[in-house]
Amino acid sequence: MNVITIKQESIMEIKDAKVFHDYLNGVIEGEDVKKSTKLYADAKTFYSSVDPSISDDQIMYEVYSYEHDGLCYGLTVMQPVCVNGECNVTRGHFHENLDCDEIYCGMGGEGLLLLMDEDYHCHAEKVKCGSVHYIDGHLAHRLVNTGNCELKVQCMWPSHAGHDYKRVEEHPFAVRVFKKNGELKVEEE
């Protein structure tokens, strides 16, 4: 292993990064990093039915985000929880500014990136460690955790993209993914 020791710091300033993405533990830490937690109590409308066996304080997913000068960097960590057999999903959104694209990158676990065009037709891409997904700004997007462990997905988007959740509530994703006897089943609503 090559070890490079930098001795001449007086020639130029060398700083530590202000933000650190801990890939192994699935957290982003540092200055100005925001973290939000979505509990089941606040996510019941995301699924096709309410599951009384899941407690309201069950964490469904956490989102870390770091914004600087017009660019955002984020991480979504989704729990492998099924709601009456339906795989865990994020809320999903269109961007308020449809000209703003986004990149997702799988960091761990297995899932689907569900995409819906402006005619409300859906398609999906498989998400796994290392998969890179370019999301056109005109597509609504939602993650589905289809695996048995946390699904971790890194995201990068322009700050002014915004989140239009209302449009997805008015025109929900037409497909849902269920896990039955260990097998995935996609159902149309």
Residue nearer to Fe ion on the CB measure, 52 or 70: 70
Number of residues that bind Fe ion (CB under 5 A): 1
CB of 74 to Fe ion, least distance (A): 9
Output the six-digit token pair for 103: 């990149």
Residue nearer to Fe ion on the CB measure, 51 or 125: 125
- Does 140 interact with Fe ion (rule: CB under 5 A)? no
Closest CB to Fe ion belongs to which residue? 102
- Does 150 interact with Fe ion (rule: CB under 5 A)? no
- Does 102 interact with Fe ion (rule: CB under 5 A)? yes
Contacts of 64 (CB under 8 A, 6+ apart): 27, 28, 33, 34, 35, 74, 75, 77
CB of 162 to Fe ion, least distance (A): 9
Residue 162 dihedral angles phi and psi, to the nearest 5°: 70, 170
Binding part of the chain for Fe ion, among 19-27, 28-36, 96-104, 144-152 by CB under 5 A, reads 96-104
Output the six-digit token pair for 1: 């292993």
Residues that bind Fe ion (CB under 5 A): 102
